[in-house]
Amino acid sequence: MSNLDKVCWPQSLRNLGFASCVFGVLLVASPGALAQSKNVYISDLPDYAWHRGCFGTATGNLMGFWDRNGFPDIYTGSANNGVAPTTSWPPNDDILHLWASEAHDEDYWVQYESTSEDPYIAEGRPAHDPDCIGDFIGLNQYKWKNLNDECAGNIDGYSFVFWDKSGERRWNYQPASASGSPIPDIPSGLKEFMQYCGYDCSVFSQLADVNPEAPAGTGFTFEDVMAEIDAGFPVLLYLQDSSALSRSIGGVPNANPTIHAFLIYGYRETSTGNRSIRVRDSWSGGDNRFYPWDDSSLVGGDLPIRGVIGVRPLPRIENIERNGSQVTVEWSGPSATLIEDQVPRPAHSYVVEKSTDLENFQPVSNPTDSMSVSFNDPLETVGSVFYRVTIAQ
């Protein structure tokens, strides 16, 4: 049997005066229940406690995961010898700076759900150069006054996504104001943050098929969840009542609506056909936390699913050496481990491809889950040779 567990503000946050509470009803599965189902998940996901916003925390879990699994320059702080830890409790609390640095707090943070001007504006000084996830995704930045004609914001604790209301997947989209100035949102900011760390990625956002806002036959499906997890990519889940696009807070109209964030890192199908997603709940809630993939608002004032944000980091070549006709290529890239019915396996494999014109690439290596490969490739008599590393399909 499964237990129901209500997710609310931790006591530590309530003691700081945060009065609001977003309730989530998560299924906490017993080991016996898991044994009766198809159970697939990505291992080694950090489980950080809420800090400066649910999407700050959820994106911290995501980027902390990639720091641990193929992209070591994402987190370079003092905790855990510079490797993103799996928890944010002392002595690992420096990891909180991954998404909310001290400079971020000085420029953007007042208190939870504050509708005051950002401190750097109120004090008449320039903002710092972006140095953490929150800076890039617009977290806590109230200076943006029109977010997709939905609300103004972001008030403290909040961030936003510019959804494609057609229900189609939106790849690598950069929102802009009416004057053409870029406006950060969660997916565009995550791409910029990865580039800031020296890597690259593709990002997407998409309304969920269980969201009534998505036209019939469109939207991100449970099958899409399975495809992303099977491919080794955790997915951010955006929870919001899509009929409530803004709200009044303390007499200030048009503020961000209530939202919450999970990080999907697995899925489960029971023998009776029930489907649920395995999540990090942004409250350091532990393992075996599940959420139904449906359009319901569950008991306790819970929020329904609105959409997802996907991040697919790309491999980066680190070194190429040639010794006669022997070529060795080394790279960094996603190195997640997938657990399927309790059996681990590498989630990613790679192929090295070659071109002489930067257009027509052909494979020159077999697929490998290593981060280097050597192969025979005689020297070309004329022109240049280009190599690239791709994730095998």
Quick: pLDDT tens for 217-234: 999 999 999 999 999 999
pLDDT score at 271: 84
**Taking 80 as the threshold, does the pLDDT of residue 9 lie above it?**
no
pLDDT band at 383 (very low <50, low <70, confident <90, very high): confident
In 3D space, the residue among 120, 121, 109 whose CA is nearest the CA of residue 156 turns out to be 109
pTM, entire model: 0.90
Locate 10 and state its tokens.
Answer: 């931790």
Q: What ranges do the domains of the chain cover? A: 3-313, 318-334+349-391
Structure tokens at 72: 């070591």
For residue range 321-342, list pLDDT tens digits in order.
999 999 999 999 999 999 998 8
Model confidence at 36: pLDDT above 80:
no
Q: Quick one: pLDDT band at residue 42, thresholds 50, 70, 90?
A: very high
Arithmetic mean of pLDDT, 353-376: 94
pLDDT band at 126; cut points 50, 70, 90: very high
Residue 310 has pLDDT above 80, yes or no: yes
Q: What is the mean pLDDT of residues 183-202?
A: 98
Q: Is residue 122's pLDDT more than 90? A: yes
pLDDT at 379: 78
Percentage of the chain lying above the pLDDT 70 cut = 88
Share of the chain above pLDDT 90, in %: 78
CA distances, 30 to each of 2, 71, 126, 142, 290 (Å): 6, 33, 52, 42, 11
Distance CA 366, CA 198 (A): 27
Name residue 39's amino acid: N
